[in-house]
C-alpha cells in the first residue's frame, strides 16, 4: 500500500476516535473544570503508553535494532508539542463552556485552512487539488455544524484561538515525527501537557474527587483512546501524509462526532448535516487523487 495512503487511513482512524471522544468531553464538562479534565486525561494517556514503549524497546533489543535519532531532539519535540497541545486543548475546553458543540466543531476545524497558510510561509507549495479540497471541506463543515445565525461570541473566539494553536501543533508534529520515535514523542507531549494542566488545576480550580469519579468512563476513554491511541496515531500517520492533507483528514472528527451522536445516543442527522458529511468525504477523496496517479506513474 502507498505510504501516503497508509498515513491517510491512520489519520482517519484518529478522527474517528476523536469524534467519539467529543461526546465524552462534553459530558465531563457538566461536572468538572477544564484543567482538571485535561490534566487527568492526558496523564492517563501518558501512562497508557508506558507498557507499549517497554514492549517496543524490549523487542528492539532482542532484534539488535539501534535507535537512530537524537534524545535531545526527542525531548525538545516532547516539550514543544506538549506545550502547544496543552494550550490548544485547554482553550478549546474553556470555549466549549460558552458555545454550542456545532459552532465549536466548525471553528476548531478551521485549522485545516490555517495549516496550508502557515505552510506557505514556511516555503512549502500547496497543490491546486489540495486547495480545492480545503475549500470543499470548509463548506462541508459549515453545512454540518452551523445550524443557526452565525455570530462570534466569547466561547466562539476561544475555540477559534484553539484552531490557530492546533495548526501549529500539526506543523510541530510534522517536523518532529520523522526524526524521533513516534510513541515516545507522544508519551512526552502528554506528560508535559498533563503536568501543566494539573498545576493550573490546583492554582485556579477546586477539584472534587466525587465529581471526578462520576466522570470515570468518559475520562478513561478520552485518556486511553483519544490521547494514548489517537494522538499517537496522529504522530505515526503524519510521518507519511503532508500537513495540509493531515489537517483535512483529521477535521473529519466533526463528521464522526455527528455520526457517533446519531448511532450511540440517537441524535438523528438532518439532510443538511448529511450533505455536509458528503462534502467532507469528497474533499478527502479529491486530495488523495493526485497521490494515486503519482503512485501509478
Least confident range from 50-54, 105-109, 158-162, 173-177: namely 105-109
User: Model confidence over 27-36: pLDDT tens digits?
Assistant: 788 889 999 9
- Predicted pLDDT at 204: 93
- Predicted pLDDT at 295: 41
Least confident range from 48-52, 63-67, 86-90, 238-242: namely 63-67
Mean pLDDT of 158-175: 89
Instruction: Count the Cβ atoms, other than its own, within 10 Å of residue 87.
Output: 19
What is the model's pTM?
A: 0.78
Mean pLDDT of 130-147: 77
User: To the nearest whole percent, how much of the chain has pLDDT over 70?
Assistant: 87
**How many distinct structural domains can be found in the chain?**
1
Mean pLDDT of 125-148: 76
By residue range, what is the domain housing residue 189? 3-296
Best-predicted range by mean pLDDT (48-62, 72-86, 234-248): 72-86
User: Model confidence over 190-215: pLDDT tens digits?
Assistant: 999 999 999 999 999 999 999 999 99
Query: Is pLDDT of 152 > 70?
Result: no
User: Model confidence over 211-270: pLDDT tens digits?
Assistant: 999 999 989 999 999 888 888 888 888 888 777 777 778 777 777 777 776 777 666 667
67, 181 in Cβ contact below 8 A? yes
Amino acid at each position: 500500500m502507498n505510504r501516503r495512503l497508509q498515513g491517510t487511513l491512520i489519520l482517519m482512524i484518529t478522527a474517528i476516535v476523536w469524534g467519539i471522544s467529543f461526546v465524552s468531553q462534553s459530558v465531563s464538562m457538566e461536572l468538572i473544570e477544564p484543567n482538571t479534565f485535561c490534566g487527568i486525561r492526558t496523564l492517563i494517556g501518558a501512562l497508557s503508553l508506558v507498557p507499549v514503549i517497554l514492549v517496543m524497546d524490549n523487542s528492539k533489543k532482542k532484534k539488535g535494532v539501534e535507535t537512530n535519532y537524537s534524545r535531545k531532539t526527542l525531548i525538545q519535540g516532547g516539550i514543544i508539542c506538549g506545550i502547544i497541545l496543552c494550550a490548544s486543548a485547554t482553550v478549546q475546553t474553556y470555549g466549549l463552556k460558552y458555545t454550542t458543540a456545532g459552532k465549536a466543531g466548525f471553528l476548531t476545524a478551521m485549522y485545516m485552512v490555517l495549516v496550508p497558510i502557515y505552510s506557505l510561509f514556511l516555503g512549502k507549495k500547496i497543490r491546486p487539488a489540495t486547495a480545492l479540497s480545503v475549500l470543499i471541506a470548509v463548506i462541508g463543515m459549515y453545512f454540518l455544524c452551523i445550524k443557526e445565525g452565525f455570530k462570534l461570541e466569547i466561547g466562539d473566539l476561544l475555540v477559534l484561538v484553539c484552531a490557530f494553536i492546533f495548526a501549529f501543533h500539526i506543523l510541530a508534529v510534522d517536523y518532529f515525527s520523522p526524526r524521533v520515535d513516534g510513541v515516545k514523542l507522544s508519551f512526552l507531549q502528554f506528560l508535559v501537557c498533563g503536568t501543566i494542566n494539573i498545576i493550573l488545576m490546583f492554582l485556579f480550580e477546586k477539584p472534587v474527587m466525587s465529581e471526578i469519579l462520576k466522570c470515570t468512563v468518559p475520562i478513561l476513554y478520552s485518556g486511553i483512546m483519544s490521547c494514548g491511541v489517537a494522538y499517537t496515531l496522529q504522530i505515526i500517520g503524519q510521518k507519511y501524509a503532508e500537513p495540509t492533507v493531515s489537517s483535512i483528514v483529521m477535521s473529519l472528527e466533526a463528521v464522526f462526532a455527528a455520526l457517533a451522536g446519531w448511532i450511540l445516543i440517537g441524535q438523528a442527522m438532518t439532510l443538511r448535516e448529511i450533505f455536509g458529511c458528503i462534502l467532507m468525504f469528497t474533499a478527502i477523496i479529491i486530495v488523495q487523487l493526485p497521490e494515486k496517479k503519482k503512485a501509478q506513474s
